[in-house]
């Protein structure tokens, strides 16, 4: 892949169903299908959760850092399994061994590094780390499932 796997926000919006305020991946800096992805999330003071988490000391919730890792894994899975344009979704199934090491504050550029561990049928396993300023802020192992979108309500 001559572009090194770089994907801009338009390409990401074409792969993930997430939209503001739940889209947690701004750019893909590197992608090796079937192996790994390095994506970026620019954490700004305008994030909708900061006024309540925490007033006077804004910190990105750990669960949203893990969500960002899962979304990066979703992009990796879609690219690796040839699912782009198929309408299939990557559903988050499990989180294991999550650890939170450093706070993520407004102004941070969060680097999301995810490795593809295993695929069995429609279930994929990943490991990931979110870094800020080169230091691990959070890490986890997680599992996802490729499936069809839910049926529209009648």
**Separation between Cα atoms, residue 78 and residue 30, nearest integer Å:** 14
The domains found in the chain, sorted by start residue, are: 9-147 (3.10.129.10)
CA 53 to chain centre: 20
67-80 tens-digit pLDDT: 999 999 999 999 99
The predicted pLDDT at position 154 comes to 65
Count of other CB atoms within 10 angstroms of residue 149: 10
Express each pLDDT in 20-47 by its tens digit.
Answer: 999 999 999 999 999 999 999 999 999 9
Check residue 69 and give its pLDDT.
98
Contacts of residue 5, defined as CB under 8 A and 6 or more positions apart, other chains included, come to: 28, 29, 30, 31, 32, 33, 37, 79
Query: Looking at the predicted structure, is the pLDDT value of residue 2 above 60?
Result: no
Pure H helices in 18-147? 62-80
Tell me the pLDDT tens digit for each residue of 44-66.
999 999 999 999 999 999 999 99
Which residues are marked as active site?
A: 53
């Amino acid at each position: 892949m001559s572009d090194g796997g770089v994907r801009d926000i338009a390409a990401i919006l074409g792969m993930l169903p997430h939209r503001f305020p739940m889209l947690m991946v701004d750019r893909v800096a590197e992608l090796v299908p079937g192996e790994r992805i390095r994506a970026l999330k620019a954490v700004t003071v305008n994030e909708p959760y900061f006024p309540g988490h925490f007033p006077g000391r804004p910190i990105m919730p750990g669960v949203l850092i893990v969500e960002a890792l899962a979304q990066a894994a979703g992009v990796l899975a879609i690219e690796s399994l040839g699912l782009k344009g198929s309408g299939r979704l990557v559903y988050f199934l499990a989180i294991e061994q999550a650890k939170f090491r450093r706070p993520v504050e407004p102004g941070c550029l969060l680097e999301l590094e995810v490795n593809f561990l295993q695929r069995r049928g429609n279930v994929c396993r990943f490991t990931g780390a979110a870094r800020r300023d080169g230091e691990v802020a959070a890490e986890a192992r997680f599992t996802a499932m490729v499936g069809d979108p839910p049926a529209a309500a009648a």
